[in-house]
Structure 1
Amino acid sequence: MSGSRFLFSNGTLLRTPDSPPVKVLLEAHPGAYTTSRTHNNGSYLLFWERHMKRLSESILILSKLAPKFLFRSDESALLLPSSVDLTKWQPTVQMLVTDSIGKVLPIALKEKNDCEELAITTLVSGNLEELNALKTVEYEERLSKTFDVHVHVDTYVPSSFGIRGNGAHLAMVGFGRDVAAAKYSEWVRIRKSLDKRRPPSVTELLLSNDGDQILEGCVTNFFVVCRKGADTDNGEAMHKYKNGYFFEVQTAPISDGVLPGIIRQLVIEYDLLL
């Protein structure tokens, strides 16, 4: 494994060792982020359109409900200028992200080994100084400067599934996240303090507001695919497979305060199609 690592920030390319680990990047900058990876020896990015959609939605949610998680500021109760309509930035942000991906990904693909895939983390941070300088007349001209785009690319070797001992060990650790519908870097900093409570054998920490209903993991979505016999059908949305058993996906609803995870949503959609 080569261990090559790249960071493309606002047009500047950094390589190993100048490119920091992704956790260091996320701890150093506020903002919304998403992480995808390549598949089939770097042939394509998994669910990239879904990742871009969630990134845009996270930025919009944070701008309305918790701008302090999107813009770096010493003010604990940061408010955005009332004249700023961030719904207009979506095409610009997508253009900036697409441009950055297009410049760094070919370089990383060329230098990776055949056995490796790439993990791609895109972080979008708000530039408060530029935002406050926005005027209606120059809105479109300055909008691209209002956001800092960081694309972090790292190599990794996918784990093999089905190997004994690969199962997860879980433990309940704390309450659900603030503004859970958005994925933001501040959570990485909070997660570090939660990790101090992690028992040595535990691989994932779960969140719950009441100690009974599981919301999500610190790093992962949480859902269970249950098999039930036909005689246990209680009228809920279950689906019968060819083997005669009924299955259902059990997971906390978004309204309870969980991230709309991409894999979680794919499993739900697949189940509804059967």
Structure 2
Amino acid sequence: MLSSLVDDGELQTPPKTGFRPSNLLLNHQDGIYTAAVFDRRHGLVDWDLHLKRLDRSMHHLGAPESAEDYTTASPSKVALAVCRSTSTALRDFIKNNTERDWDRAMVTVVVTEREPSMIGVAPQYRVIVLAYPLPVQMPDQPAVAVGVHGRPRRNPSVKDASWARERQPIEQYKTSEMAEVLLSTETGEVTEGLVTNFFIVTVSAERESAVQTATVDYVLPGILRSRVLQACEALGIPVVYKSPDLKQSGEWTEAFITNCIRGIQPVHSVITDGLAAPSCIKLPSRDGTITRQLKGMLSQLQSFTPLHNLD
């Protein structure tokens, strides 16, 4: 299947086979980015939140920082340019790929600041969009194994493209059996994954279930993370904002990772070689009760933006 690349509003020569979203980020490490899903039947998933998060991250490129949270801020002129470029990329992607071959595409948007000599000749910010085919998503995501390796990132509040380079040494630890690598402190408090947020479920002595995840001080607050927290509120499930401690893994009843591409994916094993914890934490091999409830509520909370709304 063919990808589609748009740079500064213009379609580019189709990327070579093997050119992945991570390659785009490595080529533009000075930029900020977001990665969304385009569903062929319904449109872009939670697109308004992606636009607002880009706006929220613009201070990383020198723009004034908004005091608003990205879920409430208003889209900027950059967001309008992002919409136009995304529309061009997706229309080209649809034209070049037959419907029977795909049902979802990953839309990676990178915004970089132009060289000072170009400002005044062209807009201050450059927008690059890659539409990339995704495998067909199964109705029930299988549970996966994850590893634990590496320390929390330096600047988790901004989704900057340089993270694609910084995480490469940690990715080398990832084996074929691992779907993700989690970051932790030296004492075993898990913050987040390389490209996911991490959650556990615990049960109190009163038999009340609670969802636990690290605070925003230590993680990139992903869009799926925000949706999961909204789902918890809607379902009346308590949330504990504290990094899950590997040393207390005996109290975990469920675990899952989230991002916009994976959705909510259950974790059946946490491999912790080299840490002061069990070498492999075993969890249920399928969705637990809380994970199942959150998945059901998530489908009600997510919004869809049809392609024609981008023009």
- Residues 188-197 or 29-38, more deviating: 188-197
Query: Which residue in the other structure is 2:131 paired with?
Result: 153
Query: 1:36 maps to which residue?
Result: 36
1:153 offset after TM fit, Å? 0.2
Q: Is residue 11–residue 88 contact of structure 2 (8 Å, CA) maintained in 1?
A: no
Q: Quick check: 2:56–2:65 contact (8 Å CA) kept in 1? A: no
The 5 A counterparts of 1:46-195 are: 46-60=45-59, 62-63=60-61, 85=64, 91-115=76-100, 116=102, 117-130=104-117, 142=120, 145-162=123-140, 166-195=142-171
The equivalent residue for 1:45 is: 44
Structure 2 unaligned segments of length 5 or more: list them: 67-73, 236-311
The answer to whether 1:269 aligns with 2:256 is no
| Equivalence for 1:5 | 3
The alignment covers a number of residue pairs equal to: 224
TM-superposed CA distance for 1:157, in Å, is 2.4
Normalised to the residue count of structure 2, the TM-score between the two structures is 0.65
Structure 1 residue 203: Cα displacement:
2.0
Deviation at residue 248 of structure 1 after TM alignment:
2.0
Bigger share in strand: 2
Q: In structure 2, what residue type is equivalent to 1:94? A: A
Name the CA distance, whole Å, in 1 between partners of 2:128 and 2:112: 8
Distance in 2 separating the partners of 1:200 and 1:214: 21
* Structure 1 vs Structure 2 CA RMSD: 2.6
Local SS of the residue matching 1:179: coil
Task: Report Cα offsets for 1:133-192 as digits up to 9, x if no partner.
Answer: 6xxxxxxxx4962111001001122232547xx322111111111210111111111122
Local SS of the residue matching 2:197: coil
Q: TM-score by structure 1 length? A: 0.73
Q: Tell me, which stretches of 5 or more residues in structure 1 are unaligned? A: 64-79, 134-141, 234-244
Query: Alpha carbons of 1:31 and 1:145: their partners in 2 closer, same or farther (altered >3 Å)?
Result: same
User: Could you say if the C-alpha distance between residues 144 and 215 of structure 1 is closer, same or farther in structure 2, counting changes exceeding 3 Å?
Assistant: farther
Work out the CA distance in 2 between the residues paired with 1:221 and 1:168.
Answer: 14
Shift of 1:11: 2.2
Partner of 1:207: 183
Cα separation, 2, equivalents of 1:59 and 1:6: 25
Question: Which has the larger Rg?
Answer: 1
Q: 1:209 to 1:143 in 2, by over 3 A?
A: farther
Give per-residue Cα distances to partners, 1:226-266, cap 9 Å, x unaligned.
4x36xx24xxxxxxxxxxx63322100102x2001111111
What is the alpha-carbon distance in structure 1 between the residues aligned to residue 179 and residue 148 of structure 2?
11
Letter of the 1:7 partner, please give it. Answer: L
**Alpha-carbon distance in 2 for matches of 1:201, 1:179:** 28
What percent of counterpart residues are identical? Answer: 25
- Tell me which amino acid in the other structure corresponds to 2:11: L
1:9-42 residue CA offsets vs partner (Å, 9 max, x unmatched): 0122124345842221110112111111122x34
Name the amino acid aligned to 1:145.
P
